[in-house]
Amino acid sequence: MLICLIALFALAQDNPVPSVDLDALGKAIEADVAKIAGRDFKHPVKIRATNAKQFTDYVIGKLAEGGGTARMAHDEKIAKMLGMIPRDLDLKALTLEVLAEQVGGFYDPPTGAFHVVEGMSEDLTRVVMAHEFTHALDDQYRDLDQLDKDCKHQTDAQLALHALAEGSAMEVMERWMMMNMGSLDMAAIQESQASFSTETLGAAPPYLWKPLLGSYMAGQTFLRKVEVRTILTRPAEISGLDAAWLSPPVSTEQIMHPAKYWDTEKLDLPTPIRTESSMLPEGWTIQRRDVLGELMLAIMTTPLDERQGVETNPLKLLAMRYTNAAASGWDGDEVLLLKGPQGGSATVLLTWWDDEAEAKEFARAMEPLLGQIGKGAGYAEGQELSVQLDAQGLQVVVGVVSADAAVGIPDCVALGKRVFEGVETVK
Protein backbone atom coordinates (compact mmCIF):
# COMPACT_ATOMS: atom_id res chain seq x y z
CA MET A 1 0.00 0.00 0.00
CA LEU A 2 2.99 2.30 0.33
CA ILE A 3 3.99 4.99 -2.09
CA CYS A 4 7.55 6.24 -1.82
CA LEU A 5 6.48 9.84 -1.43
CA ILE A 6 8.11 12.42 0.81
CA ALA A 7 5.39 15.02 1.15
CA LEU A 8 3.63 17.50 3.40
CA PHE A 9 -0.12 17.52 3.92
CA ALA A 10 -1.64 20.99 3.68
CA LEU A 11 -4.93 22.08 2.18
CA ALA A 12 -4.88 24.64 -0.60
CA GLN A 13 -7.20 27.58 0.04
CA ASP A 14 -10.63 27.61 -1.56
CA ASN A 15 -10.13 31.19 -2.78
CA PRO A 16 -7.60 31.85 -5.58
CA VAL A 17 -4.33 33.39 -4.45
CA PRO A 18 -1.69 35.18 -6.53
CA SER A 19 1.17 33.05 -7.83
CA VAL A 20 4.37 33.33 -5.84
CA ASP A 21 8.01 33.53 -6.91
CA LEU A 22 9.25 30.12 -5.73
CA ASP A 23 12.90 30.76 -6.54
CA ALA A 24 12.98 34.02 -4.61
CA LEU A 25 11.28 32.46 -1.59
CA GLY A 26 13.48 29.38 -1.81
CA LYS A 27 16.83 31.15 -1.47
CA ALA A 28 16.08 32.53 1.98
CA ILE A 29 14.39 29.36 3.22
CA GLU A 30 17.21 27.13 1.95
CA ALA A 31 19.70 29.17 3.97
CA ASP A 32 17.50 28.99 7.08
CA VAL A 33 17.08 25.21 6.84
CA ALA A 34 20.84 24.70 6.45
CA LYS A 35 21.44 26.87 9.53
CA ILE A 36 18.86 24.99 11.62
CA ALA A 37 20.15 21.55 10.56
CA GLY A 38 23.80 22.53 10.93
CA ARG A 39 24.66 21.25 7.44
CA ASP A 40 25.22 23.02 4.15
CA PHE A 41 23.48 21.91 0.98
CA LYS A 42 25.88 20.08 -1.33
CA HIS A 43 24.16 21.49 -4.41
CA PRO A 44 21.13 23.68 -5.21
CA VAL A 45 17.66 22.17 -4.97
CA LYS A 46 15.31 22.45 -7.93
CA ILE A 47 11.88 23.88 -7.11
CA ARG A 48 8.91 23.28 -9.38
CA ALA A 49 5.25 24.27 -9.30
CA THR A 50 2.64 21.59 -9.89
CA ASN A 51 -1.12 21.16 -9.82
CA ALA A 52 -3.41 18.37 -8.61
CA LYS A 53 -3.53 16.60 -11.98
CA GLN A 54 0.23 16.73 -12.47
CA PHE A 55 0.66 15.39 -8.95
CA THR A 56 -1.73 12.50 -9.61
CA ASP A 57 0.11 11.70 -12.87
CA TYR A 58 3.39 11.72 -10.94
CA VAL A 59 2.09 9.29 -8.31
CA ILE A 60 0.71 6.94 -11.00
CA GLY A 61 4.12 7.03 -12.66
CA LYS A 62 5.87 6.25 -9.38
CA LEU A 63 3.52 3.32 -8.83
CA ALA A 64 4.42 1.90 -12.22
CA GLU A 65 8.12 1.78 -11.31
CA GLY A 66 9.61 -1.51 -10.14
CA GLY A 67 6.35 -3.42 -10.08
CA GLY A 68 4.68 -0.94 -7.74
CA THR A 69 1.27 -1.23 -9.42
CA ALA A 70 1.22 -5.01 -8.93
CA ARG A 71 2.45 -4.61 -5.36
CA MET A 72 -0.37 -2.22 -4.51
CA ALA A 73 -2.92 -4.62 -6.02
CA HIS A 74 -1.48 -7.49 -3.98
CA ASP A 75 -1.42 -5.43 -0.78
CA GLU A 76 -5.02 -4.41 -1.39
CA LYS A 77 -6.02 -8.07 -1.69
CA ILE A 78 -4.15 -8.95 1.52
CA ALA A 79 -5.89 -6.08 3.34
CA LYS A 80 -9.30 -7.24 2.13
CA MET A 81 -8.71 -10.88 2.99
CA LEU A 82 -7.58 -9.91 6.50
CA GLY A 83 -10.55 -7.61 6.97
CA MET A 84 -8.62 -4.33 7.13
CA ILE A 85 -10.63 -2.67 4.36
CA PRO A 86 -14.05 -3.33 2.78
CA ARG A 87 -14.17 -5.84 -0.06
CA ASP A 88 -15.64 -3.30 -2.51
CA LEU A 89 -13.06 -0.54 -1.87
CA ASP A 90 -10.91 0.63 -4.77
CA LEU A 91 -7.82 1.39 -2.69
CA LYS A 92 -5.71 2.86 -5.49
CA ALA A 93 -8.41 5.29 -6.60
CA LEU A 94 -9.13 6.40 -3.03
CA THR A 95 -5.42 6.83 -2.27
CA LEU A 96 -4.92 9.03 -5.33
CA GLU A 97 -7.98 11.10 -4.46
CA VAL A 98 -6.88 11.64 -0.85
CA LEU A 99 -3.34 12.59 -1.83
CA ALA A 100 -4.49 14.97 -4.57
CA GLU A 101 -6.73 16.80 -2.07
CA GLN A 102 -4.26 16.96 0.80
CA VAL A 103 -0.67 17.24 -0.41
CA GLY A 104 0.76 20.75 -0.51
CA GLY A 105 4.23 19.73 -1.66
CA PHE A 106 6.43 16.71 -2.20
CA TYR A 107 10.09 15.87 -2.72
CA ASP A 108 11.24 13.44 -5.41
CA PRO A 109 14.55 11.79 -4.37
CA PRO A 110 15.56 10.43 -7.81
CA THR A 111 15.49 13.91 -9.39
CA GLY A 112 16.53 15.86 -6.30
CA ALA A 113 13.66 18.30 -6.88
CA PHE A 114 10.69 19.26 -4.80
CA HIS A 115 7.30 20.31 -6.10
CA VAL A 116 4.96 22.88 -4.56
CA VAL A 117 1.27 22.51 -5.33
CA GLU A 118 -0.31 25.67 -6.75
CA GLY A 119 -3.12 27.44 -4.94
CA MET A 120 -1.57 28.02 -1.52
CA SER A 121 -0.95 31.38 0.09
CA GLU A 122 2.60 32.72 0.17
CA ASP A 123 2.95 32.02 3.89
CA LEU A 124 1.74 28.43 3.62
CA THR A 125 4.01 27.96 0.60
CA ARG A 126 6.97 29.09 2.72
CA VAL A 127 6.10 26.55 5.42
CA VAL A 128 5.80 23.76 2.85
CA MET A 129 9.16 24.77 1.38
CA ALA A 130 10.87 24.60 4.79
CA HIS A 131 9.56 21.05 5.13
CA GLU A 132 10.61 19.98 1.62
CA PHE A 133 14.04 21.63 1.85
CA THR A 134 14.65 19.42 4.89
CA HIS A 135 13.87 16.32 2.81
CA ALA A 136 16.23 17.58 0.12
CA LEU A 137 19.01 18.17 2.66
CA ASP A 138 18.52 14.74 4.26
CA ASP A 139 18.58 13.17 0.81
CA GLN A 140 21.84 14.85 -0.16
CA TYR A 141 23.52 13.32 2.90
CA ARG A 142 21.61 10.04 3.34
CA ASP A 143 20.25 9.01 -0.12
CA LEU A 144 16.58 8.52 0.73
CA ASP A 145 15.84 6.55 -2.43
CA GLN A 146 18.51 3.94 -1.64
CA LEU A 147 17.40 3.68 1.98
CA ASP A 148 13.88 3.00 0.77
CA LYS A 149 15.11 0.30 -1.61
CA ASP A 150 17.08 -1.27 1.24
CA CYS A 151 13.75 -1.90 2.97
CA LYS A 152 13.12 -4.56 0.29
CA HIS A 153 9.49 -3.55 -0.22
CA GLN A 154 8.59 -4.47 3.36
CA THR A 155 5.68 -2.40 4.62
CA ASP A 156 6.88 -2.26 8.23
CA ALA A 157 10.46 -1.19 7.45
CA GLN A 158 9.33 1.40 4.91
CA LEU A 159 6.81 2.90 7.32
CA ALA A 160 9.57 3.23 9.93
CA LEU A 161 11.87 4.96 7.43
CA HIS A 162 9.11 7.31 6.26
CA ALA A 163 8.35 8.18 9.89
CA LEU A 164 11.98 9.18 10.39
CA ALA A 165 11.97 11.28 7.21
CA GLU A 166 8.72 13.06 8.01
CA GLY A 167 9.53 13.46 11.69
CA SER A 168 12.85 15.06 10.77
CA ALA A 169 11.18 17.46 8.34
CA MET A 170 8.50 18.36 10.89
CA GLU A 171 11.10 19.20 13.55
CA VAL A 172 13.10 21.48 11.24
CA MET A 173 9.93 23.03 9.82
CA GLU A 174 8.65 23.90 13.30
CA ARG A 175 11.99 25.53 14.17
CA TRP A 176 11.83 27.52 10.95
CA MET A 177 8.30 28.67 11.81
CA MET A 178 9.48 29.84 15.24
CA MET A 179 12.31 31.79 13.58
CA ASN A 180 9.83 33.52 11.26
CA MET A 181 6.86 33.88 13.59
CA GLY A 182 6.73 37.63 13.13
CA SER A 183 6.29 37.48 9.36
CA LEU A 184 3.78 34.58 9.18
CA ASP A 185 -0.01 34.65 9.35
CA MET A 186 -0.06 31.81 11.89
CA ALA A 187 -3.84 31.67 12.25
CA ALA A 188 -4.33 31.02 8.54
CA ILE A 189 -1.49 28.48 8.44
CA GLN A 190 -2.78 26.53 11.42
CA GLU A 191 -6.28 26.48 9.95
CA SER A 192 -4.98 25.06 6.67
CA GLN A 193 -2.68 22.48 8.25
CA ALA A 194 -5.20 21.28 10.82
CA SER A 195 -8.13 20.95 8.41
CA PHE A 196 -8.08 17.27 7.51
CA SER A 197 -11.87 17.18 7.43
CA THR A 198 -12.43 16.83 3.69
CA GLU A 199 -15.18 14.38 2.79
CA THR A 200 -12.79 12.02 0.99
CA LEU A 201 -10.27 11.72 3.82
CA GLY A 202 -13.03 11.58 6.42
CA ALA A 203 -14.47 8.51 4.70
CA ALA A 204 -11.11 6.75 4.30
CA PRO A 205 -10.46 3.67 6.44
CA PRO A 206 -7.70 3.73 9.11
CA TYR A 207 -5.70 1.39 6.84
CA LEU A 208 -5.17 4.40 4.56
CA TRP A 209 -5.07 7.44 6.80
CA LYS A 210 -3.29 6.12 9.91
CA PRO A 211 0.02 5.17 8.23
CA LEU A 212 0.01 8.45 6.27
CA LEU A 213 -0.70 10.64 9.27
CA GLY A 214 1.45 8.48 11.54
CA SER A 215 4.51 9.14 9.43
CA TYR A 216 4.34 12.79 10.51
CA MET A 217 2.92 12.63 14.01
CA ALA A 218 4.41 9.36 15.30
CA GLY A 219 7.67 10.09 13.49
CA GLN A 220 8.07 13.41 15.28
CA THR A 221 7.06 11.87 18.62
CA PHE A 222 9.69 9.15 18.09
CA LEU A 223 12.39 11.79 17.60
CA ARG A 224 11.30 13.44 20.85
CA LYS A 225 11.88 10.07 22.55
CA VAL A 226 8.43 9.76 24.13
CA GLU A 227 5.46 7.49 23.43
CA VAL A 228 2.80 10.14 24.00
CA ARG A 229 3.39 13.79 23.11
CA THR A 230 1.77 16.91 24.55
CA ILE A 231 2.19 20.60 23.81
CA LEU A 232 4.75 20.67 26.64
CA THR A 233 6.99 17.94 25.17
CA ARG A 234 10.44 19.34 24.44
CA PRO A 235 11.56 19.50 20.78
CA ALA A 236 13.97 16.89 19.51
CA GLU A 237 17.65 17.77 19.52
CA ILE A 238 19.19 18.16 16.08
CA SER A 239 21.97 15.79 17.15
CA GLY A 240 19.25 13.19 17.75
CA LEU A 241 18.02 13.57 14.17
CA ASP A 242 21.56 13.05 12.88
CA ALA A 243 22.03 9.96 15.07
CA ALA A 244 18.79 8.43 13.83
CA TRP A 245 19.81 8.92 10.21
CA LEU A 246 23.13 7.16 10.82
CA SER A 247 21.22 4.05 11.94
CA PRO A 248 17.55 4.36 10.95
CA PRO A 249 14.81 2.60 12.92
CA VAL A 250 13.86 -0.73 11.35
CA SER A 251 10.28 -1.25 12.55
CA THR A 252 7.14 0.65 13.49
CA GLU A 253 7.52 -1.01 16.90
CA GLN A 254 10.60 1.16 17.45
CA ILE A 255 8.74 4.24 16.18
CA MET A 256 5.81 3.74 18.55
CA HIS A 257 7.96 2.59 21.49
CA PRO A 258 11.00 4.91 21.21
CA ALA A 259 12.82 3.31 24.16
CA LYS A 260 13.17 0.17 22.03
CA TYR A 261 15.37 2.25 19.73
CA TRP A 262 17.00 4.96 21.88
CA ASP A 263 17.69 2.96 25.07
CA THR A 264 20.50 0.45 24.45
CA GLU A 265 19.30 -1.73 27.34
CA LYS A 266 15.79 -1.92 25.85
CA LEU A 267 16.83 -2.15 22.19
CA ASP A 268 14.37 -4.47 20.43
CA LEU A 269 15.00 -5.63 16.88
CA PRO A 270 12.39 -7.70 15.03
CA THR A 271 12.83 -11.47 14.86
CA PRO A 272 13.35 -12.32 11.18
CA ILE A 273 10.93 -14.99 9.95
CA ARG A 274 12.62 -17.30 7.46
CA THR A 275 10.15 -19.52 5.65
CA GLU A 276 10.52 -22.55 3.43
CA SER A 277 7.82 -22.43 0.78
CA SER A 278 8.74 -25.57 -1.17
CA MET A 279 6.00 -27.49 0.66
CA LEU A 280 3.16 -25.58 -1.00
CA PRO A 281 0.45 -27.83 -2.46
CA GLU A 282 0.47 -28.37 -6.21
CA GLY A 283 -0.87 -25.38 -8.11
CA TRP A 284 -0.18 -22.82 -5.36
CA THR A 285 2.42 -20.07 -5.85
CA ILE A 286 3.56 -17.01 -3.86
CA GLN A 287 2.48 -13.63 -5.28
CA ARG A 288 3.61 -11.35 -2.45
CA ARG A 289 5.75 -11.71 0.66
CA ASP A 290 5.68 -8.88 3.21
CA VAL A 291 6.19 -7.86 6.85
CA LEU A 292 3.20 -5.95 8.24
CA GLY A 293 4.61 -4.85 11.61
CA GLU A 294 3.00 -3.56 14.78
CA LEU A 295 1.27 -0.51 13.31
CA MET A 296 -0.57 -2.52 10.64
CA LEU A 297 -1.45 -5.31 13.09
CA ALA A 298 -2.90 -2.66 15.43
CA ILE A 299 -5.12 -1.45 12.59
CA MET A 300 -6.09 -5.04 11.80
CA THR A 301 -7.04 -5.87 15.41
CA THR A 302 -9.12 -2.73 15.97
CA PRO A 303 -12.79 -3.76 16.38
CA LEU A 304 -14.95 -2.76 13.41
CA ASP A 305 -17.08 -0.35 15.46
CA GLU A 306 -13.96 1.47 16.66
CA ARG A 307 -12.46 2.12 13.22
CA GLN A 308 -13.07 5.84 13.11
CA GLY A 309 -12.33 8.48 10.50
CA VAL A 310 -9.32 10.75 10.69
CA GLU A 311 -8.97 12.82 13.87
CA THR A 312 -9.14 16.59 13.32
CA ASN A 313 -8.64 17.96 16.85
CA PRO A 314 -5.00 19.21 17.01
CA LEU A 315 -4.53 18.29 20.69
CA LYS A 316 -5.95 14.80 20.16
CA LEU A 317 -3.68 14.42 17.14
CA LEU A 318 -0.65 15.01 19.35
CA ALA A 319 -1.67 12.30 21.81
CA MET A 320 -2.96 9.77 19.26
CA ARG A 321 -1.67 6.22 19.70
CA TYR A 322 -0.87 4.13 16.67
CA THR A 323 -0.81 0.79 18.47
CA ASN A 324 -3.03 -1.15 20.87
CA ALA A 325 -2.83 -3.92 23.47
CA ALA A 326 -3.39 -6.66 20.89
CA ALA A 327 -0.46 -5.56 18.71
CA SER A 328 1.97 -4.59 21.48
CA GLY A 329 4.44 -7.37 22.16
CA TRP A 330 4.92 -7.95 18.43
CA ASP A 331 8.29 -9.48 17.66
CA GLY A 332 8.06 -10.28 13.95
CA ASP A 333 5.75 -11.50 11.20
CA GLU A 334 5.52 -12.54 7.60
CA VAL A 335 2.43 -12.48 5.42
CA LEU A 336 2.15 -14.36 2.15
CA LEU A 337 -0.38 -13.83 -0.65
CA LEU A 338 -0.83 -17.11 -2.49
CA LYS A 339 -2.39 -17.79 -5.87
CA GLY A 340 -4.12 -21.12 -6.25
CA PRO A 341 -5.68 -23.17 -9.05
CA GLN A 342 -8.88 -22.03 -10.79
CA GLY A 343 -8.80 -18.54 -9.31
CA GLY A 344 -8.18 -19.62 -5.75
CA SER A 345 -6.25 -17.30 -3.44
CA ALA A 346 -5.01 -17.30 0.13
CA THR A 347 -3.47 -14.92 2.62
CA VAL A 348 -1.44 -16.60 5.34
CA LEU A 349 -0.01 -14.50 8.18
CA LEU A 350 2.52 -15.86 10.66
CA THR A 351 3.16 -13.65 13.68
CA TRP A 352 5.82 -14.02 16.38
CA TRP A 353 5.46 -12.52 19.87
CA ASP A 354 7.61 -11.58 22.86
CA ASP A 355 5.88 -14.13 25.08
CA GLU A 356 2.92 -16.53 25.08
CA ALA A 357 0.66 -14.06 26.87
CA GLU A 358 1.14 -11.50 24.06
CA ALA A 359 0.50 -14.20 21.44
CA LYS A 360 -2.74 -15.23 23.15
CA GLU A 361 -3.89 -11.61 23.41
CA PHE A 362 -3.41 -11.12 19.67
CA ALA A 363 -5.26 -14.37 18.93
CA ARG A 364 -8.17 -13.37 21.17
CA ALA A 365 -8.46 -10.01 19.42
CA MET A 366 -8.46 -11.67 15.99
CA GLU A 367 -11.14 -14.29 16.71
CA PRO A 368 -14.24 -12.04 16.47
CA LEU A 369 -12.78 -10.13 13.52
CA LEU A 370 -12.14 -13.33 11.57
CA GLY A 371 -15.74 -14.25 12.29
CA GLN A 372 -16.78 -11.07 10.49
CA ILE A 373 -14.55 -11.88 7.51
CA GLY A 374 -16.05 -15.34 7.24
CA LYS A 375 -19.68 -14.23 7.19
CA GLY A 376 -21.69 -14.38 3.99
CA ALA A 377 -20.52 -15.34 0.53
CA GLY A 378 -16.97 -15.70 -0.72
CA TYR A 379 -14.99 -13.11 -2.65
CA ALA A 380 -16.36 -14.06 -6.07
CA GLU A 381 -19.32 -15.90 -7.54
CA GLY A 382 -18.86 -19.65 -7.26
CA GLN A 383 -16.15 -19.38 -4.63
CA GLU A 384 -16.21 -20.19 -0.95
CA LEU A 385 -14.31 -18.60 1.89
CA SER A 386 -12.53 -20.30 4.77
CA VAL A 387 -11.06 -18.40 7.72
CA GLN A 388 -9.04 -20.02 10.51
CA LEU A 389 -6.60 -19.22 13.30
CA ASP A 390 -3.99 -21.33 15.07
CA ALA A 391 -2.00 -20.26 18.15
CA GLN A 392 0.92 -22.28 19.51
CA GLY A 393 3.47 -20.84 21.91
CA LEU A 394 4.95 -17.62 20.56
CA GLN A 395 3.47 -18.24 17.11
CA VAL A 396 0.02 -17.32 15.77
CA VAL A 397 -0.97 -18.25 12.21
CA VAL A 398 -3.98 -16.61 10.55
CA GLY A 399 -5.24 -18.06 7.28
CA VAL A 400 -7.90 -16.88 4.83
CA VAL A 401 -8.57 -18.94 1.71
CA SER A 402 -10.93 -18.32 -1.19
CA ALA A 403 -11.34 -21.22 -3.64
CA ASP A 404 -13.68 -22.59 -6.28
CA ALA A 405 -16.61 -24.36 -4.65
CA ALA A 406 -16.46 -27.16 -7.22
CA VAL A 407 -12.82 -27.89 -6.40
CA GLY A 408 -13.22 -27.72 -2.64
CA ILE A 409 -11.52 -25.29 -0.33
CA PRO A 410 -8.29 -26.34 1.39
CA ASP A 411 -7.95 -26.13 5.14
CA CYS A 412 -6.18 -22.78 5.51
CA VAL A 413 -4.45 -23.49 8.81
CA ALA A 414 -3.08 -26.71 7.33
CA LEU A 415 -2.08 -24.70 4.26
CA GLY A 416 -0.44 -22.13 6.53
CA LYS A 417 1.50 -24.80 8.39
CA ARG A 418 2.77 -26.17 5.09
CA VAL A 419 3.75 -22.68 3.96
CA PHE A 420 5.69 -22.15 7.17
CA GLU A 421 6.89 -25.72 7.48
CA GLY A 422 10.52 -24.73 7.72
CA VAL A 423 10.09 -21.51 9.67
CA GLU A 424 13.13 -20.31 11.54
CA THR A 425 13.48 -17.34 13.86
CA VAL A 426 16.89 -15.80 14.34
CA LYS A 427 17.80 -12.93 16.65
**211 shares a domain with 316:** no
Q: What is the CATH number of the domain that holds 297?
A: 3.40.1000
The helix/strand/coil state of 74 is helix
The answer to whether the pTM exceeds 0.75 is: yes
**285 shares a domain with 247:** no
**355 shares a domain with 397:** yes
Residues 364-412: tens digit of each pLDDT: 999 999 888 866 545 565 566 778 888 989 999 888 877 766 555 666 6
**229 shares a domain with 285:** no
Q: What is the CB neighbour count within 10 angstroms for residue 31? A: 13
Residues 271-299: tens digit of each pLDDT: 988 776 677 777 788 899 999 999 999 99
Q: Is residue 1 part of a domain?
A: no
CA distances from 179 to 127, 182, 228, 235, 301 (A): 12, 8, 26, 14, 42
Looking at 208, 240, 262, the residue that finishes a domain is 262
Residues 207-225: tens digit of each pLDDT: 999 998 899 999 999 999 9
**279 shares a domain with 216:** no
Do residues 346 and 338 make contact, with C-beta atoms less than 8 angstroms apart? Answer: yes
One-letter identity of residue 35: K
Looking at 262, 292, 313, the residue that finishes a domain is 262
Q: Is residue 206 part of a domain?
A: yes
**292 shares a domain with 191:** no
Q: Is residue 267 part of a domain?
A: no
Q: Is residue 232 part of a domain?
A: yes
**140 shares a domain with 87:** yes
Q: Are strands 46-50 and 113-117 parallel, antiparallel or unpaired?
A: parallel
**166 shares a domain with 49:** yes
**155 shares a domain with 100:** yes
DSSP state letter for 305: G
As for how many domains the chain has, the answer is 2
Beta strands in 120-183 (DSSP E): none
**329 shares a domain with 185:** no
Q: What angle do CA 354, 254, 325 make, to 5 degrees?
A: 50
> Containing domain of residue 165, as a range?
6-262
User: Which one, of 17, 16, 94, lies nearest residue 56 by Cα?
Assistant: 94
